[in-house]
Chain A
Amino acid sequence: MTEIVKRPAAMTPRFKHCGETAVSVELGDTIDLETNRRVRQLFHKLQENPLHGILSMNPTYRSLFIQYDPWECSFEKLIQHLENMFRQGSGEPVEGRTLEIPVCYGGEFGPDLAFVASHNGLSVKEVIRIHSASLYPVFMIGFTPGFPYLGGLDSRLFTPRRDTPRIRVPAGSVGIADQQTGIYSLESPGGWQIIGRSPLKFFDPQEDPPALLRAGMNIRFRPINKDEYSLT
C-alpha cells in the first residue's frame, strides 16, 4: 500500500489498456483526496453523459476503470469522449454526506481489540477513543460487495494483520490492517484485527442501492454498548 500523501501532483490523464475491452484512466500517482475527487467527478460526468458501448465503470483511489465493448465503441471514440469531459472542466465537486456508524467495540464483537491496544502501548479505552474520533473518507468500494476503502486511520492504531486469517469474519465487523481501517460488508474469511462490530447492514442485493456506502462519503464511528447493538 502506497503512502497516503496530503498534496497531490497534478497530472495529465494516462490511459492504460487492460486488454482490448477495458481501460484504466489514471489521474494521479498517489492516494490523496484531491486526485480521488477528480476520479469521482469523471465518473459522475460519464454517468450523466453516457457513451454507448461503456459496459461498466469503477472509480478507484486514483483511476477510473472503464469496461467497454470495442464492437460498439472504439478506444479512440472513448478517449475523445473522455477528452470532452475533461475540457468541460471539473464541474461541481461531488461530495457525499457524512455517515455515523455505530460500533460495539471489544468483547465477542471485537476479539482483537486488546491486541491492538497492547501492540500500540495503549489502553483499550484509548483505542476506542482514538478510533471513534477521526473522520474517515471513503476512497473507493471494492474487494467484496460494499467494502469501503477508508483513509484517515490515526497512526497510533497501525497494527499488522493477524498471522493466521480467520475462516469466518461476520458481516459488520470493524477491523484494522496495517495503516487501514475497514468494515467487512459481508461475512468472509479475513486477516484483519477485529476491534468491534456494527449492527448496520452494509450490503443487501435486494436493496436499491445495494450498498450503504459509496466513494466520496465520510464516516465516523460512534461507540455503542451491547444493549444498543441489539436494539439497532
Chain B
Amino acid sequence: MNTPSLEILEPGPLATVQDRGRLGHQHLGVPVSGAMDLHAFRMGNMLVGNSPFEACLEITQGRFQARFLRDTTFAVTGSSPHAFLNRTPIPTWRALKARKGQYIRVMQSDHGFRDYLVLSGGIQVPLVLGSRSTYLRGKFGGFEGRALKTGDVLHTGPEAREPLPAVYPKQLIPPYSSNPQLRVVLGPQDSAFSQGGLEAFIGGTFTVTDRADRMGCRLSGSPIQHERTADIISDGLAMGAIQIPGNGQPLILLADRPTTGGYAKIANVISVDIPLIAQTLPGGRITFKVVSFYEAREIYLHKEFAIRRFMAGDEKVGA
C-alpha cells in the first residue's frame, strides 16, 4: 500500500528519517534517537493530518532538494523561515499541497539547525525495535541505517485523513533564537558542584562549539568546578541532561545520547526548551535559568494543553 513519494536530489549535510524515537529498549543500551526538535516534528505531523509521531525527514542545515513523485500534502516545520516549491517561496509550519514532479528546496538558515519535512501518510521504512528513527552510530533504523543520499526514493503510507485547515500555529512555534535562554531543573547531581561551580553555571554565558551533533551539544565558557570529582556511579541520561566532565565544560545530551553516563549532571533542560538548543548553531550563546520541578511541570502541562486544544480545533490560531 506504500507509494513512492519523494526522490532525494540533494540531501544537504545530513538528512535522516526520524520519528519519536526508540523508547522502551534503554535497558539494553539502545539509545532513544528520534527527532532532535520533537515539537517541530510533532506539529508537522498534526498539520498534515498524520497521527502525531509518524516518521519524517530531519534536514540539517538545509541545502536540501527533493522531487515529489506524486501529489502530496506536506509541511516544513523547524527553524527555517521559508522553503521553496519549484521557484516559489512557501511558508513553513503550514500544510501545503505539492503536485507530482514539483521540487522542494529547504535552504540553509542563519537562524537554526534543523527542519522537518513531514509528508501525509508518514515515511514508511521498516520498524526496528519499534521505531523508524535512524541511529547513525549503530547503523540501524531509518533508511537502511544511514543518512539519505542522492537518488534515494522514500515511500509514504496512505493519506490518512484531512489535514488541519490551513492554519498557522503562531503561538505554538517555539521562540527559536541564536542566543537562547534555556530553563533548567537542577539535578540529579547538582550537589557534586562547588558553590562557585553552581554560580558559574547559573550566571555564565556559554558558546555552542562546533562539536554539536545528534548525540549532544558541547558548550564552552568559564569552567564549572566540581566539589571533588566529575565522576559519578554511571546512571541513566535524560534528553537535555547537562553533563559536566572534568574540564568543566558542559555537554547537553540530545537524541542520540548514550543510555548511561559517568559524569555528574548539574541540571536538565526542561523539555519545552529542548527544541531551542536543538536549533542553536555553533557560535550561539547560551544562558541558563533555573526553575523548580513544579514550575517545569506547569510549563510542560500548559504547552501540552495548548497543543491538544489546537489539534482539536478549539482555537483558531494565528492568521
Contact = CB atoms under 8 A, between A and B. Distances in A.
Interface of A: 1-2, 16-22, 24, 29-31, 43, 55-63, 65, 67, 70-71, 75, 140-147, 149, 185-186, 188, 203, 205-206, 209-211, 214-215
Interface in B235-273: 235-241, 258-260, 262, 265, 268-271
Q: Which has the most chain A C-beta neighbours within 10 Å: B30, B140, B236?
A: B236
A185 B129 CA distance: 17
Interface of B: 23-32, 128-129, 137-138, 140-141, 184-185, 187-188, 231-241, 258-260, 262, 265, 268-271, 293, 296-297, 299-301, 304
A205 B128 CA distance: 7
Contact of A141 (B28, B237, B238): B28
7 contacts: A17-B185, A19-B185, A57-B27, A59-B27, A141-B29, A143-B29, A205-B141
B231 A142 contact: no
Contacts of B259: 58, 141-143
Q: Which has the most chain B C-beta neighbours within 10 Å: A63, A142, A146, A149?
A: A142
Nearest to A143: B258
Nearest to A72: B304
A21 B273 CA distance: 13
Q: Which has the most chain A C-beta neighbours within 10 Å: B232, B234, B262?
A: B234
Contacts of B187: 16-18
A56 B32 CA distance: 9
B236 A24 contact: yes
A196 to B, nearest CB: 21
B23 to A, nearest CB: 5
B90 to A, nearest CB: 32
B238 A209 contact: no
Contacts of B128: 205-206
Given A144-B138, A186-B138, A61 B28 contact: no
